[in-house]
Structure 1
Amino acid sequence: MALNFDPFRDLDRVTEAMLGSRQGPRLMPMDLYRDGDHYVLAADLPGIDPGSVDIDVDGQLLTIRAERTLGAAEGAKWIARERMSGSFLRQLNLGQGIDIERIAANYTNGVLSVTIPVTERAKPRKIEVAAGNEQGNLTVQESPASVDA
């Protein structure tokens, strides 16, 4: 059996155990894809109370914040503690063509899904090409030739 040894991961774990939880917000893993006329963002937030999730849009900046608190029995002596507690943060620049008024979110089974609709103006559309078969549609003006003597 092969064992993976990552000294930096183990060092981080020991440092966190000695100094307490890591300061500052943690990054939440996410996927983002386009499905027809909207984008779907799926962020992993297992163990998060849905009431602690905060999503806001300021201009074109979408911000997702969440808080995870881990309960512990008083006087418990930890043998292993790998689950992170604290704040989670993710910010995305939405760019142009997003309908920020209709953004919706749902939290199910530890996954936060945010649906981001595209505006009508930004949706792809087919441009019809008109054919001009009559000569009257095409006008050519010829300039008189100048003859130098």
Structure 2
Amino acid sequence: MSITRYDPFREAMSLRNAIDQLFSQSFVNPSWTTQTPNAPMDVYEDEHGYKVSISLPGVRPEDIDVTVHQNTLNIKGEYKHEIEPEQQQAQEKPRGNWLVREISSGSYQRSITFDRPIDLEHIETNYEHGMLTINLPVTESSRPKRIEVRSGAKSQQVPVEAGKRQK
């Protein structure tokens, strides 16, 4: 038998760890429910407009719906599980069980509203290797313009001859 010194913080930390584990497993991320598929995205802005990249692995282009209304981009669609003929037959005759099924299926929707007006006539999209890229140029009137600042004092031109100094 070993004797250890009493440390009240040890019990408090183990209680905290137990509570953290309870919240992370039970409430925040329950493993027994199916989660709604999430489509993570990146949004980049420069003076010409916006570039949106959204990760949609395994989604067919015909299952993606992209719309722009005023300054809001809406992306929605559906992840679908494709069932092979032999899998379909196996589902009709109960032969096995899923051991792990983490690839989610279902619908997704993402929306983002931009500050500047979008030029609807020049939007470009590209879908390659599960990444959808949308280039949204802004209207010409909303792009930054360089404005020349003039001095209020009158400027006077003084003729100067080459090689001579003015006094």
Fold conserved (TM > 0.5)? yes
Aligned mates of 2:79, 2:71 — CA distance in 1: 27
Alignment partner, residue 32 of structure 1? 43
Alignment partner, residue 125 of structure 1? 145
Contact 1:98/1:117 (<8 A) preserved: yes
Aligned mates of 1:9, 1:111 — CA distance in 2: 31
Aligned mates of 2:63, 2:115 — CA distance in 1: 26
5+ long unaligned stretches in structure 2: 1-20, 91-95, 156-167
Aligned mates of 1:11, 1:129 — CA distance in 2: 57
Q: How many residues align?
A: 124
Question: Which structure has the larger Rg over C-alpha atoms?
Answer: 2
Matched, 1:47 2:58: yes
Question: 1 or 2, which has the higher strand percentage?
Answer: 1
Question: 1 or 2, which has the higher helix percentage?
Answer: 2
Alignment partner, residue 32 of structure 2? 14
Contact 1:26/1:89 (<8 A) preserved: no
What TM-score comes out, normalization by structure 2 length?
A: 0.64
5+ long unaligned stretches in structure 1: 17-21, 136-149
CA displacement 1:61-96 (0-9 Å, x = unmatched): 211012111124133521101111111110111233
What TM-score comes out, normalization by structure 1 length?
A: 0.71
Task: Give the fraction of aligned pairs with identical amino acids, expressed as a percent.
Answer: 32
Cα-Cα RMSD: 2.5
Stretches of 4+ moved more than 6 A in 1? none
Match of 2:80 among 69, 72, 85: 69
Contact 2:47/2:144 (<8 A) preserved: no
